[in-house]
Amino acid sequence: MKALILAAGYGQRMRPLTENRHKTLLTIGGRTIIDRILHGLRLHGITEVFIVTGYRAEELVEHVRDNHPDFAFTFVHNERFDKTNNIFSMALAFEQITFDSDLLLIESDLIYEPAVLDRIMKCSYENVALVDRYRPGMDGTVVALTANNVVSNVIPPSQQPANFDFSDKYKTLNIYKFSRDFCATTLHRLLTTYARLIDDNCYYEMVLGMLVYMQQAEIHGEVIESELWSEVDDPTDLRLAEFKFTPSARYGILESSWGGSWDLGVLDFAFIRNMYFPTPAMFSEMRFHLPELLQNYGSTQTVLNTKLSWALRWPDGRTHLLSGASQCYPWLKTWFAGKKVLTPEPTFGEYTRIFPDADRYVDGPGVDWAELERRASAAEVVVFVNPNNPSGTTLDSNCIAEFARSNPDKVVIVDESFIEFSGQQPLAEIVHREDIMNVLIIKSLSKSLGVPGLRLGALLTLDPGLTARIADETPIWSANSMAENFLDIMLKHRPALHQSFRRTVADRDDLSAMLARLPIVEQVFPSGANFVLARLTTSPQVTGELTARLVEKRLIHVKDVSQKFRTGDGYWRVAVRTPADHDRLRDAVSQLAPRQFDHAVPASASTTAGGRTR
pLDDT of 612 > 70? The answer is no
Model confidence, pTM: 0.87
pLDDT of 613 > 70? The answer is no
Q: Are 504 and 474 in a shared domain? A: no
**CA 73 – CA 51 distance, rounded (Å):** 7
- In the DSSP assignment, the letter for residue 602 is P
Q: Are 222 and 179 in a shared domain? A: yes
Q: Are 456 and 521 in a shared domain? A: no
Reference 294, options 490, 492, 483, 446; nearest CA is: 483
Q: Domain with 114 in it: what CATH number?
A: 3.90.550.10
Q: Are 318 and 442 in a shared domain? A: yes
Domain range for 551 is 497-613
Q: Are 338 and 412 in a shared domain? A: yes
Asked which of 189, 210, 237 is the last residue of a domain, the reply is 237
Asked which of 453, 479, 505 is the last residue of a domain, the reply is 479
Specify the pLDDT at position 477.
84
Q: Are 432 and 564 in a shared domain? A: no
Per-residue burial over 364-401, b if 16 or more Cβ lie within 10 Å, else e, is ebebeeeebeebbeebebbbbbbbbbbbbbbbebeebb
**Mean pLDDT score of the chain, rounded to an integer?**
91
Domain assignment of residue 520, yes or no: yes
Q: Are 326 and 212 in a shared domain? A: no
Contact predicate 35/66, CB 8 Å: no
Asked which of 184, 213, 237 is the last residue of a domain, the reply is 237
DSSP per-residue string spanning 239-285: HHHHHHH-HHHHHHHHHHHSS--TTTT-EESSS---TT-S-HHHHHH
pLDDT of 115 > 70? The answer is yes
Contact predicate 521/538, CB 8 Å: no
Find the range with the poorest average confidence among 210-214, 259-263, 518-522, 563-567.
259-263
Q: List the Cα angle 542/548/551 in 5-degree steps.
A: 145
pLDDT of 601 > 70? The answer is no
Specify the pLDDT at position 602.
35
Specify the pLDDT at position 607.
30
Q: Which residues contact 201 (CB under 8 A, 6 or more apart)?
A: 83, 84, 85, 87, 88
User: Based on the structure, what is the number of domains in the chain?
Assistant: 3
- Give the pLDDT mean for 567-582: 96
pLDDT interval class at 217 (50, 70, 90): confident
Specify the pLDDT at position 610.
35
